Amino acid sequence: MLEVTQLNVSYGKQKVLRNVSFSLQEREVVALIGSNAAGKSTTLRTIAGLKKADSGGIGFGGKDVSELPTVERVQSGLVLVPEGRQIFPRLTVHENLLMGAYHRADRDHVDDDLERIFTMFPRLRERRVQRAGSMSGGEQQMLAIGRGLMSRPKVMLLDEPTLGLAPIIIEELGVIVRNLAREGLAILLAEQNAMMALGCADRACILQSGSIVMNGDARQLSETPEVKQMYLGT
């Protein structure tokens, strides 16, 4: 589904990503784990087309999308749920969800997808006409994911979805991520919360200073002394 090859990205003279390579398969969750400023968000933003790479390739569905604008990547099924949720606070829940379908030509199916989102997230149904900015952080994160799903993605890029959330909501989000993968979605999950990420991912990549220093099966990585000491606090 997604193939990132030797990706190099800079901000000015500062190199942020160095030869980052990984792949993501259908129905798979791959976690990008690292501390703040490790390069996780830059990786996702570059894949989404919001940041231009210095070099390297981004393959999606067997095609090179490195030069495609963001809107064309979204239309092809590559969708970013950004860090900080970035919902439209003055719009209602229903209006926010509709914004996720703005580019779609199949308007006849939008209502069906809205019903699917409300079934998946019952709290959003309850708050359908409520302004999004008045909801809790966990509810806003569910809305951000729901808005992304309204684009009918094949690959979802989730950037720090647990940031600032209570443990019980973080656990709920982990279940949601796994359920979405079972339904056919491929998910690239960027997270500082290594315990959550390793718990719901199939594979994981450890980012340090813009480079992947470890990668492999998520459960096996969680048992390595380095990951336990640096990211799990054990």
| Pairing verdict, β 2-11 and 14-24 | antiparallel
Neighbour-count burial of 211, counting CB atoms closer than 10 A to its CB (0-12 exposed, 13-18 middle, 19+ buried): middle
CA 55/CA 35 separation, integer angstroms: 24
For the entire predicted model, the pTM comes to 0.93
Per-residue confidence (pLDDT) for residue 234, from 0 to 100: 58
C-alpha 98 chain-centroid distance: 19
Per-residue confidence (pLDDT) for residue 181, from 0 to 100: 95
Q: Where are the domains of the chain?
A: 2-77+153-232, 87-152
Per-residue confidence (pLDDT) for residue 63, from 0 to 100: 93
Residue 8's SS3 state is strand
What does each C-alpha distance from 67 to 71, 86, 87, 185, 222 come to in angstroms?
12, 25, 27, 24, 36
Q: Which CATH superfamily is domain 2-77+153-232 in?
A: P-loop containing nucleotide triphosphate hydrolases (3.40.50.300)
Q: Which of 166, 170, 168 shows the shortest CA–CA distance to 194?
A: 170
Per-residue confidence (pLDDT) for residue 57, from 0 to 100: 96
Q: How confident is the chain (234 residues) per 10-residue block, as mean pLDDT?
A: 96 94 96 92 96 96 93 94 92 96 82 93 95 94 95 95 90 93 95 92 95 94 88 70
Per-residue confidence (pLDDT) for residue 142, from 0 to 100: 94
